[in-house]
Amino acid sequence: MKRFTPLLALLMALPQLNAEEATATNLPPDPFGSIDDLQTAGDYPVEVDRTRGSFTLDAADGQYQPGSHFANWFWNANIERWGNYYVGLLYDSSRPKLGVQVKIGESILKGYAPRTNALMAKEPMILGKAYIPKPGEYGVSMLTGDQSNVPAFQVKGLHFRPAPENDPHGQSIDGSIILDAGSATTYSEKMRYEPKEEKNCLGFWTEVEDWAEWVFDVTTTGKFQMSVFYGCGDGAGGSEVALYLNDQTHGFTVEETGGFQEWKELDLGTVSLDAPGKNKLAVIPKSKGAKAIMDIQKIVLTPKS
């Protein structure tokens, strides 16, 4: 006859757990859900050139004047495309931080440059936006809070890249999304936002390599009707244009509308916005039919019931 010890008898008396109960935990559920469940918008099906329209003022091309507790840099920049630019500092530093001030035109940008590392050394530290009112020669000056042409802090240059004129509108209460011309980033050498009241559009679109992009937030996903409002002068039609909404592609042929500011609403059909948060839309010409491609006033996404 088998004998049971008191401990064995106690274990046999405990209720048996099934597999699901055996892997259970007393930790509370994650209030943010699983990261794997988060959906993000897809990428464009084509490569895009986000360096177009950017330029760099190299340190080697500037004049450096050291001081006892500060230093000055000076450049002459020939800027052909007017509009907004992000201005970034390219540098290497082992200092905790150093004050930096850049002046170009009427824009004065200030910031503190922190210590760099191998991961961030190639990326410019954005100081802010500078507005260039017209093409031409501009003097660019930079003041640093200590010497900045020494091993401890080495300026490499100033980087300029196109910036939108204003921030994009958020999704409206009714679910619609209006991507106006002023909130586009124009990766371009000629095309740009035209702020005159009678224009308020993307114009001077004479180069097929120039393109525009909107980055916007979506709070309510679903199906949308997409329309583009554009104008095209007499004899200037025939350009082929593609719109890339995340990973979706829609194209059309530009038709004459009676004038570059005579707006035509073109319905491009139904599109899907499935991911909340950051989404993006690019307008990229594929060919130029005549002297210019078109002017764009806005793109509108209207929710479908």
* pLDDT of the chain, 305 residues: tens digit per residue: 455 556 555 555 555 655 555 555 666 666 655 555 568 999 999 999 999 999 999 999 999 999 888 999 999 999 999 999 999 999 999 999 999 999 999 999 999 999 998 766 578 999 999 999 999 999 999 999 999 999 999 999 999 999 999 988 889 999 999 999 999 999 999 999 999 998 999 999 999 999 999 999 999 999 999 999 999 999 999 999 999 999 999 999 999 999 999 999 999 999 999 999 999 999 999 999 999 999 999 999 999 98
pLDDT of residue 168: 81
pLDDT of residue 122: 75
| Positive or negative torsion for Cα 180, 182, 187, 191 | positive
pTM: 0.84
pLDDT of residue 71: 97
* Contacts for 239 with CB less than 8 Å, ≥ 6 apart: 208, 253, 254, 285, 286, 287, 288, 289, 290, 293, 294
Q: How much is the CA Rg of the chain, to the nearest whole Å?
A: 28
How far apart are alpha carbons 251 and 129 in whole angstroms?
Answer: 33
Q: List, in order of start, the domains of the chain with CATH numbers.
A: 55-162 (2.60.120.260), 177-303 (2.60.120.260)
pLDDT of residue 19: 52
